Amino acid sequence: MNALEISAAVKRFGPVTALAGVDLAVPPGTLTAVLGPSGCGKTTLLRCLAGFERLDTGDIRLNGAPVDGPRTFTSPHRRRVAIVPQEGALFPHLSVAGNIAYGLPRDHHRTTRVQDLLTLMGLDGMENRFPHHLSGGQQQRVAVARALAPRPALILLDEAFSALDAGLRADLRDDVRAALRADGATALLVTHDQAEALSTADQIAVMRAGSILQAAPPETVYQAPATPWIASFVGGAMLLPGHWTTPTTVTTALGTLPATGIHTTAPVTVMIRPEQITLSDPTPPPIPAKVIDRTYLGHSALIRLELPDATPISARVPPNHLIDLGSQVGLTVTGPCRAWPASLRDN
């Protein structure tokens, strides 16, 4: 049985349809990232799951039990859904231990559970500190420990790492992931950060304009995105016009390439990732291109190129790869690309 099941969920605010028929299943003990651009309905979905809003139509089930539907509505405090907001969620007058213990019954398990969570979240020795004596990252650790404490049916992480700087954010993300796994918790992470979703989640639900377009493991969303829009939104991609030339190859401005996807005799849109492009000497030219720009990214560099017909191309290369702007290079494409009917270009 799934820990969470959302079926055909619709939520309108006057003329605005914030949720346009959302379907999503989350298996127990897993983390799903809800990833989408601003205004796509992520917060509304979260608020409906927490019980702060009621669906217009559709239903939500937690561990098989309906909590929102045509004949049911369970109030927020009876849902066993915990929320970790972006920041500022702790009770300032309670210690770390007091914050974590807040939702626990006063029995003999309480101290042990608090101690286990302190250890799980890397907070050993900080139990007597107060929130204003903690860094932002430590405060978020306490907030996650407090959410986990009563073993809720579902934990909602609402952009929970967004307020932290990059290094701290990656560490906290990894530790929270490990703690959720160790505790067997089921969680939904709302984020607009595709790198965060790819690195943290068991499943990514890609949301756009009130609908979930694809819900799949990160590898599938990245390698086999359901639509060209998902390809561009998750990970960055070049989308080139082309056509199928054999059942397994498409022809584009970058030549004839192995491809998977929806077969059609009509024109197609072909996805190629920047890391599939290798640069070499222009002689003999595999595919000639001119170097237009270079962006240094630390772990890699992104080279912007132009084919003779002015088609823009991006290539991801090692960060120390030296290259002169304006020079001519040769391009080779490795690995299969993905193709969709060109009519889906904007989907």
Identify residues 174-233 at the interface with ligand ATP (CB under 6 A): 192
Phi and psi, residue 233, nearest 5°: -75, -35
Q: How far is the CB of 95 from ligand ATP (least distance, A)?
A: 32
Q: Which of 37, 24, 19 is nearest to 214 (CA)?
A: 24
Please answer whether residues 90 and 99 qualify as being in contact, where contact means their C-beta atoms are separated by less than 8 angstroms. Answer: yes
Token pair listed for 139 = 């405060």
* DSSP secondary structure code for residue 308 in this structure: T
CA terminus-to-terminus distance, the chain: 32
Maximum C-alpha span of the chain: 77
Q: Quick one: which H or E segment has residue 329?
A: strand 328-333
Of 22 and 257, nearer to ligand ATP (C-beta) is 22
Of 177 and 192, nearer to ligand ATP (C-beta) is 192
The one among 43, 74, 115, 264 contacting ligand ATP by CB under 6 A:
43
The one among 4, 6, 22, 36 contacting ligand ATP by CB under 6 A:
36
The contact pattern for ligand ATP, residues 121-160, with x = CB under 6 A and - = no contact, is ----------------------------------------
The reply on whether position 13 binds ligand ATP by CB under 6 A is yes
The reply on whether position 258 binds ligand ATP by CB under 6 A is no
Q: Which of 57, 60, 54, 79 is nearest to 70 (CA)?
A: 57
Q: How many residues bind ligand ATP (CB under 6 A)?
A: 12
Please answer whether residues 54 and 68 qualify as being in contact, where contact means their C-beta atoms are separated by less than 8 angstroms. Answer: yes
Q: Which of 279, 194, 286 is nearest to 235 (CA)?
A: 194
Q: How far is the CB of 13 from ligand ATP (least distance, A)?
A: 3
The reply on whether position 40 binds ligand ATP by CB under 6 A is yes
The reply on whether position 44 binds ligand ATP by CB under 6 A is yes
The reply on whether position 52 binds ligand ATP by CB under 6 A is no
Question: Where do contacts with ligand ATP occur on this chain (CB under 6 A)?
Answer: 13, 16, 18, 36, 38-44, 192
